Structure 1
Amino acid sequence: MRTKAIILTTLSILLSCKLMAQGLLDTTRTQFMMLETYGTAYQQGYDHGAQKYREIAASLERYRFEYIEYLLQSAGTDLKYKDFKNFLIHKTDMFQKLEEESPEQYALMKGIANGAYLDFEDIFCYNLNYDETLWIVEALTSKDLSLQQAEGHCSHASFWNGQQNKIVYSFDWARWLDGTQLVWKMHFNNGLEVLNFTYAGIIAGQGVNNYGVGFTAHSTMELQRATTNATPSIMNYSKILLSKSKEEARNMLMKTHQAAPVAYTLFDRKGTEVLECGPFPTQHVEAPNQMLVQTNHSHKNKAFSAPFLQMVDAPENINRKVFEEKYQQKAILRATSFADSHQREKALLAIFSKEDVRQSPEVLKEKWKSTPAFKPFHKDNFYNNFCTITEIGKEKVKVWATPGEFDRFALDFFELTLIR
């Protein structure tokens, strides 16, 4: 069976020889795993699974035992991965929503599962957003374990001048994925090309396409969540990367009803904006001064945000007892993580300016390292970083990336030629 998969993948690559004239990723000098695929969503997912099946299978085992069962045990239960999987697949409608609302993402994920000869439902669980995973654990155990790992969250800064946009981003994800960081260049039959910075077996992480449309994603510390009538956020990650304009991606996000509250920074050459999505109406946040920073607190959703900002900036003016009664007991515990996020955002605003659109990647990297958004690797960290610097100009998209924090690895370079 494995031989058959390899033969099919080889034939797919040979049949795509005309597309390959556009230029392959250089796989000889990089710190990442590399993958280049062609064709339909299903074919590209299948080739992903077939070519990276060893890495996916090993990572899936770590996911089951080092992540899910560890979380369930940390919550004081004897529940197993099978209980988590059963709840997600049968007690929520997220798996059903995947097929109903996201046919291309369904095809990508189904292709990965088939190409790697792995269970489709396992691959779906494996693709679940960090926050959604913890909320399924909370639904099973009544304990919010995200409060114990509040420091592991993403940070973003971008600057633009009408001619180009530069984006610096630290993408934090669970550490059991370390070693599976993947640069996946995707070629679709309609001419769309995507630089997808993700992990083996996961359909999208962060990235940009040859229409100059890209995104980064951020938790928002919101208390709201949904396990029914809600779209898994990984579907929207992928849909943004397949969008041909920022407007198309924005319109999609404005209509979504998403399981996990996530702030998307949506960008193209002309600028960056934020859309805060979740199990509530999407909120749109603009940045009028040619610069935007985003960490992990929501700017516009709910009254939840304003009291936290007041608590951070003027804690003596907040009656904590009233706040706790109003926002649930666990809400007060989020104050530490929210304060940390707010301080990161203020520090980024203090050190960067819109003039940084002219700076080189090396200068931006060093400036980033002087802020609280820089989190040096530590053995006790529950998360790993995946950092990128993206430049969108009139003709090219250029990305400098490292499979860890900026102090651990050199920057690898990737680019796309824009469709005019």
Structure 2
Amino acid sequence: MRRRNLMVLIGLIMTFSPVLKAQNLIGIPPVEYQVELNDSTSEFFTVEVKGSSYERGFQHGKALRKVIRPTINRFKYDMVGSFLKALGSEATWEDYLDFLYTKTKLLQNAEEQVPDLVDEIRGIADGCDLPLKDVFAYNLNFDETFWVLEKMTGIDPMLASEKANYEQFPTGHCSHGSVWENGKASVGYTLDWTRHFEGSQTLIKHVKEDGTVLLMTTYAGTLIGHGINATYGYTFTPHSKFQLAHDVDKGLAQIFIYRKLIEANSVQNAIDYLHKVKPAAGLAYALTDKNGTRTFEVSANKIVKFKTGGNWMGVFNVARVNNDLSASYKKEFNLAGEINMKNLPKRYWEYNHDSEERYAIMEKEIVWRTPDKMTPQKWEEIFIQQPINKPVNEELPTSNLWHVIIIDEDFIEYHVSPGNPGNLPLEEYRFKYSK
């Protein structure tokens, strides 16, 4: 309670002292003590973890074991099982699990490149008393699931879905908008994933051994969905690019890349990491600090920066600048040699109309706006529009999480909700971050 009272007092001081300069912000405690999660008032499951990678994972798994167990079962039998059936396969979850560990190198690559994060997953598994293989596979519930299925069945699930308008597969995912100017940035973002994870949304405060604080939303039992580096004052957002080349044999699964980006301690360090890593799945990553957003489309073999030409950014789920397309996409559109992304067949954009519609809405709404105008309320007005907004219903696409992040010279504000925009109120967390 003292911590909460302290933050209220700090908030009042900042509210009524607008001329207070950064150098005079004395008496503010380290980031670790500025915000305390409260499970009784938050709409998220909340947990605070501290210590080594394994220790933080164990605390996470033990605290949320009653949520993790049923969510993993939904992932195994409802999500993976349903996708296998939709692809005409008679394989079971057990077949999928065996294939993941014997026919791909996703575990080996993680053990070699990010052993600390594998230790964290091992801690989660031990904390909730589940097999490591199940919990590791569950942490790869994003795009790698589709590419393991593709390798098993010979069918690109997302391309097949786009061609046939299957309802069994997601039609569109995460939406990002941001604006920046004069040392201030404002970001709106929704993380859309399948409804199998609805009800497991979790807010986790990590305090690493060096004192760095990460505040992250995720699904119970997984490493990260999105979040902020509360100590160094920046954020990132991930966006599936199913059209890009992927590699489950040589690449690192995306959830590990997420964590390494948020642990890089600066946007530039994160960008440097993106230029070094070989991913298992193609994504766009948007990295934002007070100076603005830098966005990169990253495939298995290539990284390309995406720019809008102004102090605004919109990121959705169709590749726009990276021509390292997947084998199935190149075959579908009879593409060979050096692909010109400005001269793609009309059907390419028709297959990805959901992303194009969202991009058009975002551009229209924010292209001329400044960060001061992009309040949480304004972002909500934009994000409640469909198809950006994908509420929970009988269809598969679901907005599980959304947030607004505002970063200036001194503070980073994290407004976050475990649902689709306009549903549950945004919860607010505010940190004075280090320079």
Would you say same fold, with TM above 0.5?
A: yes
What is residue 162 of structure 1 aligned with on the other side? 182
SS where residue 227 of structure 2 aligns?
strand
Further displaced range: 284-293 or 41-50: 284-293
What is residue 91 of structure 1 aligned with on the other side? 103
Letter of the 1:342 counterpart = E
Q: 1:233, 1:260 within 8 Å by CA — same for their partners in 2? A: yes
Q: Deviations over 1:360-396 (max 9, x none)?
A: 2112211332353222332223434311111112222
Q: 1:151, 1:337 within 8 Å by CA — same for their partners in 2? A: no
Q: Deviations over 1:145-165 (max 9, x none)?
A: 322335231110001113211
What is residue 345 of structure 1 aligned with on the other side? 359
Q: Deviations over 1:321-358 (max 9, x none)?
A: x973337xxx9976434222122112210111352411
Q: Distance in 2 between matches of 1:19 and 1:172?
A: 29
SS where residue 333 of structure 2 aligns?
helix
Q: 2:281, 2:299 within 8 Å by CA — same for their partners in 1? A: yes
TM-score under structure 2 normalisation? Answer: 0.83
The counterpart of 1:300, out of the listed 304, 321, 326, is: 321
| Shift of residue 183, structure 1, vs aligned partner | 0.6
Q: Distance in 2 between matches of 1:120 and 1:213?
A: 32
The counterpart of 2:292, out of the listed 271, 286, 296, is: 271
| Shift of residue 285, structure 1, vs aligned partner | 2.4
Q: Distance in 1 between matches of 2:352 and 2:118?
A: 34
Where do residues 11-410 of structure 1 align in structure 2 (5 Å cutoff)?
21-146=33-158, 147=161, 148=166, 149-210=169-230, 211-302=232-323, 324-326=333-335, 335-359=349-373, 360-370=375-385, 372-410=387-425
SS where residue 284 of structure 1 aligns?
strand
Letter of the 1:25 counterpart = L
Q: 1:323, 1:332 within 8 Å by CA — same for their partners in 2? A: no
| Shift of residue 19, structure 1, vs aligned partner | 9.3
Letter of the 1:221 counterpart = F
Structure 1 runs, 4 residues or longer, greater than 6 Å off: none
| Shift of residue 288, structure 1, vs aligned partner | 4.8
SS where residue 326 of structure 1 aligns?
coil
Letter of the 2:97 counterpart = K
SS where residue 79 of structure 1 aligns?
coil
Q: Distance in 2 between matches of 1:225 and 1:21?
A: 41
Q: 1:272, 1:287 within 8 Å by CA — same for their partners in 2? A: no
| Shift of residue 74, structure 1, vs aligned partner | 1.8
Q: Deviations over 1:244-272 (max 9, x none)?
A: 11111110011111111010111111110
Distance 1:382 1:290, change over 3 A: closer
What is residue 416 of structure 1 aligned with on the other side? 431
Q: Distance in 1 between matches of 2:310 and 2:333?
A: 36
Q: Distance in 2 between matches of 1:290 and 1:324?
A: 34
Distance 1:354 1:194, change over 3 A: farther
Distance 1:195 1:76, change over 3 A: same
Further displaced range: 239-248 or 333-342: 333-342
Q: 2:48, 2:205 within 8 Å by CA — same for their partners in 1? A: yes
Distance 1:80 1:115, change over 3 A: same
Q: Distance in 2 between matches of 1:34 and 1:419?
A: 24
Q: Distance in 1 between matches of 2:201 and 2:213?
A: 19
SS where residue 59 of structure 2 aligns?
helix
Distance 1:203 1:77, change over 3 A: same
RMSD: 2.4
Q: Deviations over 1:84-118 (max 9, x none)?
A: 11111121111001110012211211111111111
Gap runs ≥5 in structure 1: 1-17, 309-321
What is residue 4 of structure 2 aligned with on the other side? none
SS where residue 216 of structure 1 aligns?
strand
| Shift of residue 416, structure 1, vs aligned partner | 2.6
SS where residue 270 of structure 2 aligns?
helix
TM-score under structure 1 normalisation? Answer: 0.86
Distance 1:122 1:332, change over 3 A: farther
Gap runs ≥5 in structure 2: 1-29, 337-344
Q: Distance in 1 between matches of 2:400 and 2:314?
A: 18
SS where residue 275 of structure 1 aligns?
strand
Aligned residue pairs total 386
Report the identity percentage. Answer: 26
SS where residue 233 of structure 2 aligns?
coil
Where is the helix percentage greater, Structure 1 or Structure 2?
1
Further displaced range: 281-290 or 87-96: 281-290
Q: Distance in 2 between matches of 1:394 and 1:271?
A: 12
What is residue 315 of structure 1 aligned with on the other side? none
| Shift of residue 273, structure 1, vs aligned partner | 0.9
Letter of the 1:73 counterpart = K
